[in-house]
Amino acid sequence: MDDLLKKIAEIKEMIISAINASKDENDIRAVKENLLSKKSEFSALGRYFRELSVEERIEFGQALNVAKEDIANRLSEKEKALLEALAEKKLKKERLDVTLPGYRYEDGGINPLLEVQDEILSIFVSMGYEVYEGPDIESDYYNFERMNIPFDHPAREMQDSFYLDKTTLMRSHTSPAQARMMDMKKGEPFRVVCPGKCFRRDDDDAMHSHQFMQIEGLVIDRGISLADLKGTLELFLKKLFGEKREIRLRGSYFPFTEPSVEVDISCAECGGKGCSICKNTGFIEVLGAGMVHPNVLKMGGYDPNVYSGFAFGVGLDRIAMLKYGISDIRDLYTNDHRFVKQFKKGRF
């Protein structure tokens, strides 16, 4: 019997020292699998019951139970200690120094081009216009043909630009949106403004950029006249630049309008007397406009004997530069934070 009790003690010691030596959950798992499973030496001790008398069984059974309890206690203590050590290690690794200064994110401002675009669109929306943005990539058909600029027309020369293939190009003006709008309206009268990017081969200097922005306007109805165009533009330009500005229409030429005009406003810098900004003319050109050419109406499905319309095209870069006193167009496209944040308006 003594031998048996000694054996229990030996096996228990062996198991407990394996538990004590465990460094992580893998070691613990190994102890459970190798030393405490049904096939382990410890479990095999049960086979001695058969060889013992009733009294001896009681003594042996008690010793075995005490050993089992000891082992279970040690095991759970060790598991708890390992878990705590692991949590502590993790905490140390993830330690945050809340006294460190944070990152400062500066918010920018709205690009003046978008600022001006918003302003112009809301003026026209308040006059009952809808807004439509045509695609940046346009077909030769809409960009030129539908604007009354056939294949060999000299007006193409100025705008022949960035072709993606023989019949597709980055649109060179927002005017094709006029034709797309007419197609959508199917003969019904309408008023629309179409903002967007345009692309043309050009010098890249302080006044020119290969990418720029325009807003196109188009009104089609019965009995629309040049007086409507003049009144609308006067209202629009005075809202944008101030009541004191004078408006001047000069005869001009565009293939898609007849008659065509160029529209100037009196110079804000010198009040019309003449200065370096207006090149001593007292006026600054701000947009092109005219009465929609009968060919353009016809191609759009409108009978020029019944319907007439006016159209205009405003260059936003020019307007933004005038309005904010920007001297280099490239500033509008380089996204320099120092430039853009000057136009912060707190609208976020």
Q: Where are the alpha helices (DSSP H) in the chain?
A: 2-21, 25-35, 41-44, 54-93, 112-125, 140-143, 155-159, 176-185, 226-241, 294-299, 316-324, 337-340
Report if residue 254 touches ligand DAH, rule: CB under 6 A. yes
The one-letter amino acid code at 347 reads R
Residue 267 interacts with ligand DAH (CB under 6 A)? no
Select from 161, 232, 257, 266 the one that contacts ligand DAH (CB under 6 A): 257
Of 75 and 149, the one with the shorter C-beta distance to ligand DAH is 149
Q: How far is the CB of 203 from ligand DAH (least distance, A)?
A: 16
Rank residues 42 and 256 by Cβ distance to ligand DAH and give the closer one: 256
Q: Kindly write out the interface string for residues 209-248 of this chain, putting x where it contacts ligand DAH by CB under 6 A and - elsewhere.
A: -------x--------------------------------
CB of residue 192 to ligand DAH, shortest distance in Å: 11
Judged by phi (left if over 0) then psi (alpha if -120 to 50, else beta), residue 201 lies in: beta
**Part in contact with ligand DAH (CB under 6 A); list of ranges 34-42, 80-88, 115-123, 305-313:** 305-313
Residue with tokens 């001006």: 116
Q: What's the rounded Cα separation, in Å, for the pair 221 and 198?
A: 27
Q: State the nearest-atom distance from the C-beta of 289 to ligand DAH, in Å.
A: 5
Among 124, 144, 307, 312, binds ligand DAH (CB under 6 A): 312
DSSP letters along 186-244, please? TT--EEEEEEEEEE-----SSS--SEEEEEEEEEEETT--HHHHHHHHHHHHHHHH-TT
Binding status of residue 175 toward ligand DAH by CB under 6 A? yes
Region of 44-52, 116-124, 266-274, 311-319 interacting with ligand DAH (CB under 6 A): 311-319
**The one segment of 181-189, 285-293, 320-328, 337-345 that binds ligand DAH by CB under 6 A:** 285-293
Smallest separation (angstroms) from ligand DAH to the CB of 273: 28
| Least distance between ligand DAH and beta carbon 336 (Å) | 27
Tokens 């095209």 — which residue? Answer: 313
The residue (of 146 and 173) whose beta carbon lies closer to ligand DAH is 173
Which residues fall within 8 angstroms of residue 120, CB to CB, at 6 or more apart?
193, 195, 215, 236, 240, 314, 316, 319
Is residue 313 involved in binding ligand DAH (CB under 6 A)? yes
Q: 199 and 137 in contact (C-beta within 8 Å)?
A: no
Whole-number Å distance between alpha carbons of 118 and 316: 11
Burial class (CB in 10 A: 0-12, 13-18, 19+), 234: middle
Task: Give the nearer residue to ligand DAH in terms of CB position, either 112 or 313.
Answer: 313
Of 309, 288, 287, nearest in space to 300 by CA: 309
Does 317 interact with ligand DAH (rule: CB under 6 A)? no
The footprint of ligand DAH (CB under 6 A) covers 173, 175, 216, 254, 257, 288-290, 311-313
